[in-house]
Structure formats: structure tokens, C-alpha cells
Amino acid sequence: MHPLADAFGRRFPYLRLSIIPACNFRCTYCLPNGYKADPKAAGPLRLDEITRLLTGFQHLGMHKLRITGGEPSLRRDLTDIIATAAAVPGVERIAMTTNGVLLTRRLNEWMDAGLGAINVSMDSLDRACFARITGHDRLDSILQGIDLALARGLPSVKINAVLMRDVNDQQLPAWLDYLRDHAVGVRFIELMQTGDNLDFFRRHHVRAASVMAHLLDSGWRERPRRADAGPARELVHPDYAGHIGIIAPYAKDFCAGCNRLRVTATGDLRLCLFGDFGIPLRHLLQDDADQEALVRAIGGQIGRKEKGHFLHQGHTGITPHLASTGG
């Protein structure tokens, strides 16, 4: 194994793989008009291509995989994808980010196949607010799915909530009530600008610093960061079963701890969510004999990874919305 490291000494044990660009939700900040298929676009990677891709990344030190999209649960062969990933030697944790609509129906089979962690996107605990954000009145069934994951003992259950000014940024009390007896991590994520959402971003971006300050004032304490920690700052409180993570991509040094690479649903390597280019890998996923070339191709690109994103300058790279890249 030759673990990857970039010019800034960062290592990349973590791969985020999008397995489908399509989604059944219409989140206001992501796909406000719903997913529109491009009839000319190639289909998503097949299972055999995914297997070769993961084996290649594993040779480069990847040991944590996150399956994302679009909405990954729309893939009919999702359980097979999880099982395939679980069979790649060295892959220690398989996580998935999902809107949660299929959790109550499918979680058991995903866990049996090897799923070890979920992040469920749920921007509000208020039913009407949730429906306005996502276009779907499905909050109750998603909450049930989270309860099922906890009851089944899934090792990691997290909720992603994107903070939006005048939409859900005044709902901290409801989250605190929920966290008192739910052993989940809620991650408040600052809204990010993407190619398609500039007007929305200007209206609704709010810094997470005020939430952080409020929590620290109320007795929450920051947990010491592990060496392999991702970008979230984690807070805990002895009176609460759950914990809170703050993800603030506009904060200074946010990219210094970057530990992830991404691959799009059609097999393009992305060095950064907001980078200017993708590196096609699909042609190297057609034959087991190309494994060495695949590993060389990935390793050869890592020096091109920038020190940080250019979101402060309003530069969002080639990402029209996060569903396209795998958020």
C-alpha cells in the first residue's frame, strides 16, 4: 500500500463516492426544481466498475468509504454495492449520506450488507418547515428511520442540517430537546454557494459561529479533535445523549484538515468539491488488468490538489449543485 499524501502533508483515507446523480427531493439549496436527467450523460458506474475503483483506492490507503449522491437509496443495487465495498480488504467503515426516505424499509438489509454509519439530511424538526425545504412531507417517516437505526445499534447515526437564515436558523431549542434523549450527532452545516444557487445563497447564508457561541455559553464543550477527524468541530454536554458538530466551510483553515477525495457517479475523480476539473477514471475501470494504471493515475493527480477552496472569492468551480458531485 502507498498511502497518498499531497503537497501540504494531507493524507486521504476517506473516499466519497457518488453512485447516482438523481434525487427524489427538491431541496431549495440543492435541486429546487427537482433532478433533470441529461439524456446525453453516461449512466452511473456499474457494480464491477465500483469494485475496481474501490480496490484501487484501497491500495492508496483509503479505509473509509462514504456512499452518496444524488440520493443513493434510489439505486436498486445499493445493497450489492454496500456488500461489495464491505468485501474490499482494508475498508473499515462504510457510511452513507441519505435523505432517509427509504430507511424504514431498507435499513435492515443495508446493515446486514455491512453499512456501519448513516448521515441523514434533515434540516428541520418542524414538519411544515421540512416540507417547504425538501418539497416532501416526509419528516415523520425519516424520524422513524433514525429511531430504527438507533434501535438496531448502527454504530454511527448523524443528522445533517444546513443552516439557512430566516428558514431554520432559529430552531436550536427544538434540536436541543431532541438531543436530550437521542444518541445522535447533529451537524449544523453552513450553506455553501454552488454554481446554481447564488441568489439563494446571498439571501440565506448565515455563519455557524453564532450557534457555536450560543452552545459554548450554554455549557456545551468542544471535544478534542482526533488526528483523523474531518472538518466538524464537535460539542458535547453531560445532560444530552446526543452531540453536535459544526461544519463551517467559510472558517479560516477549514481545508487544512481535508482528508477526502471524491469520485462522481460517472467515475470522475474530484480533488475538491469546488475544484475546476474532474479526472476521468472510468476507462481504467473496465478490466482488472488496469489496476496498476488506475493506482498510478490517481496517485499522479494528488499533487494538483489546491491548499483550499476559493469560495470566499465566490468561485464554486464546476459544481452546479452538490447532487452533481456527491456532497
Binding mask of the shown chain, residues 102 to 131, with x at each position contacting ligand SAM by CB under 6 A? -------------------x----------
Distance, CA of 214 to CA of 189 (rounded, Å): 16
Does residue 22 contact residue 35 with C-beta atoms inside 8 Å? yes
**Using the rule CB under 6 A, is 248 a contact of ligand SAM?**
no
The site for ligand SAM, by CB under 6 A, has a size of: 20
Order of strands across the sheet with 268-270? 221-222, 233-236, 243-247, 185-190, 156-163, 117-121, 93-98, 64-68, 14-18, 260-263, 268-270, 279-280
Per CB under 6 A, the list member of 192, 212, 273, 284 interacting with ligand SAM is 192
**Using the rule CB under 6 A, is 176 a contact of ligand SF4?**
no
Please report which helix (H) or strand (E) contains residue 78, including its range.
Answer: helix 78-86
Report the 10 Å Cβ neighbour count for 58: 19
For residue 16, the cross-strand partners are: 66, 262
Distance, CA of 216 to CA of 208 (rounded, Å): 13
**Using the rule CB under 6 A, is 69 a contact of ligand SAM?**
yes
**Using the rule CB under 6 A, is 134 a contact of ligand SAM?**
no
Per CB under 6 A, the list member of 27, 164, 176, 281 interacting with ligand SF4 is 27
Report the 10 Å Cβ neighbour count for 279: 16
Query: Could you say which residues in the range 82-141 bind ligand SF4, by CB under 6 A?
Result: 99, 121
Q: Which is nearer to ligand SAM, 60 or 65 (CB)?
A: 65
- Residue in 58, 314, 81 with CA at minimum distance from that of residue 194: 314
Binding mask of the shown chain, residues 29 to 68, with x at each position contacting ligand SAM by CB under 6 A? xx-------------------------------------x
- Residue in 64, 76, 74, 68 with CA at minimum distance from that of residue 22: 74
Window contacting ligand SAM (CB under 6 A); options: 42-50, 148-156, 190-198, 300-308: 190-198
Window contacting ligand SAM (CB under 6 A); options: 94-102, 125-133, 235-243, 251-259: 94-102
Distance, CA of 288 to CA of 220 (rounded, Å): 50
For residue 245, the cross-strand partners are: 187, 234
Per CB under 6 A, the list member of 58, 84, 97, 264 interacting with ligand SAM is 97
Window contacting ligand SAM (CB under 6 A); options: 48-56, 95-103, 107-115, 233-241: 95-103
User: Contact positions toward ligand SF4, by CB under 6 A?
Assistant: 23, 25, 27, 30-31, 69-71, 99, 121, 323
User: Contact positions toward ligand SAM, by CB under 6 A?
Assistant: 23, 29-30, 68-69, 71, 97-99, 121, 160, 162, 189, 191-192, 194, 197, 322-323, 327
